[in-house]
Chain A
């Protein structure tokens, strides 16, 4: 994975290669992974949110019931 193994060789080259992150050339795969993680996050968090909402909606607490759950103090 290492793009640079010797800084002296790298910086004294006739033309210094710009990108130095590991795996230069694999950017397409990295972007694909990011897209999957991003879209996946929406699906997972949506399912979690839906389940939380359904739970509260099913129990139908009153609009002042939250006050008995205040823990401050």
Chain B
């Protein structure tokens, strides 16, 4: 199965709505998997592909907003809420917590589909970001502790000599470490290494003495 083919999850306790949404979403060529409850959804095997969750606010087991919170920790898919009688506080909470859209029933199909598309685009982006970060983290894990110490100096633009003085070693050793870091991280230039470091959220060295 093509891992880039998006998938839409539908969670609604009403089977009629579930079926209708599944059919509507399938009619625009998207994969659809529907669930009757939050638990069913959480326990299901999810393919590794860009996804979107169309979530009913009122569910018999877990409230839609609670599910949203739970999914946020799990890098869950972006959520499009649908609701039978949505109230303003719920919608505000949902949007603030990152929901793509909050649609009261009956909703227009165009709004729903546009929201789903947006969600998938967002998720695809997020997924790419997430896989890039994972690759960088894997590469970073190959660095020795000494190389991880040197990296902040390199990305901060310190000369080898100064770094060596700070870390109490020789300029030659620092030069070797720098070469190893560039190689292990797969950075073709210092600029790329700086970008990678930022992505990993590493701090830049400020120097012990100036």
Say if A and B assemble together: no
B interface residues, Cβ below 8 angstroms from A: none
A interface residues, Cβ below 8 angstroms from B: none
